[in-house]
Amino acid sequence: MSGVQAPGVYEGAANVIAAGMLLLEFGMLRQALVRDQIRLYMAQSALISVLAIVIAADRNLPDLYALAALSAALKVVAVPLVLRRLLRRVGLDDEEETVGVAGSNTLSPATAVLAGIVLAAFGFFCFGALGIHGPAAPALALALAAAMVLVSFGLMIVRRDVASQAVGFFSLENAISLAALVVASGLPFILETGFLFDLLVAVVVFGMLIRAHHSRAESLSTADLTKLQG
């Protein structure tokens, strides 16, 4: 009697990279400090570029090399740089954690991880039931992307500070890029880059949000937003 068949090296590698991205998402979920979250986000973005290269090499899609380079430049270098500068400007330096950001988790890390597992399971089995089998799509990587979307939503919900929520939103974008890469890796290059630049809009919006919130409330915590002001 034999077990579940091995998927082959290419699919296996794609799946491993997707699983690694999901694990980094969980890392962000349990990580208390924003600067470490940003580091994990960088690693996740680097992984998605690696995945693009793997798909490009296997499917013979030279466009994807350019996309990988662009995505790495944007998500591994530019976005974290902007985020860090923003945080420094609102006084969230490496040394001081004055803004009530450390420990903005509403759940303890172990509970957060268990809740994340439940969310991920929901995403997994929903996509498993859909049974999408594209030509270039390892079905598993797609399900992992769905799980990542849900976990990053969870991250945005359990965090109480704007900066972590921004990181959660950007990693949500990573999850969607993963799904896009897996399902439609043959998409025209110009469309892919168009989607990529949507991220920049999000960065600007979140930057505005962080600065506006900080200037009004002297804090990054969204707990201050629950009070109604007439």
Partner 1 sequence: MSAALPIPVIQLLQVLTIAIGAPGVTGVIAKVEARLQGRRGPRVRQPYYDLAKLFRKEALAPAGASWFFLAAPLVAVTSYLTIPLLIPVLTTYGLPLGYMGDILGGGFLLSLASFVIATAALETGSPYAQLGSSRAKTFSAITEPVVLFVVFTVALLTGTDLPYALAATVRSSAGQIIRPAHLLAAAALFMVILLETGRIPVETHTGTNEFGMIEEARSFEHSGPFLALIRWGSELKQLILYTILADVFLAPWGLASTQHLGSVILAIVALLAKACAVGCVVAVIDNSFAKLRLFKITEFAAGAFLLAVLGVFTLYLGGG
Nearest distance from residue 61's CB to partner 1, in Å?
A: 21
Interface of this chain with partner 1, residues 27 to 46, rule: CB under 8 A:
30
Of the listed pieces 91-99, 125-133, 152-160, 190-198, which binds partner 1 according to CB under 8 A?
Answer: 125-133
Which residues fall within 8 angstroms of residue 109, CB to CB, at 6 or more apart?
A: 30, 32
Nearest distance from residue 108's CB to partner 1, in Å?
A: 8
Q: Which of 22, 16, 81 is nearest to 50 (CA)?
A: 16
217, two tokens: 């409330």
Among 24, 139, 150, 166, binds partner 1 (CB under 8 A): 139
Nearer to partner 1, 40 or 90 (CB): 40
Q: Which of 206, 221, 171 is nearest to 85 (CA)?
A: 206
Is 151 one of the binding residues for partner 1 (CB under 8 A)?
A: no
Cβ atoms within 10 A of the Cβ of 37, count? Answer: 25
Contact between 213 and 220 (Cβ < 8 Å): yes
Q: Which of 44, 82, 60, 62 is nearest to 177 (CA)?
A: 44
Nearer to partner 1, 7 or 100 (CB): 7
Is 166 one of the binding residues for partner 1 (CB under 8 A)?
A: no
What 8-state DSSP symbol labels residue 60? T
Interface of this chain with partner 1, residues 47 to 106, rule: CB under 8 A:
none
Identify any residues that bridge with 105 across adjacent strands, giving them in sequence order. Answer: 159
List residues near partner 1 by CB under 8 A. 1-9, 11-13, 15-16, 18-19, 22-23, 26, 30, 109-110, 113-114, 116-117, 120-121, 124-125, 127-128, 138-140, 143-144
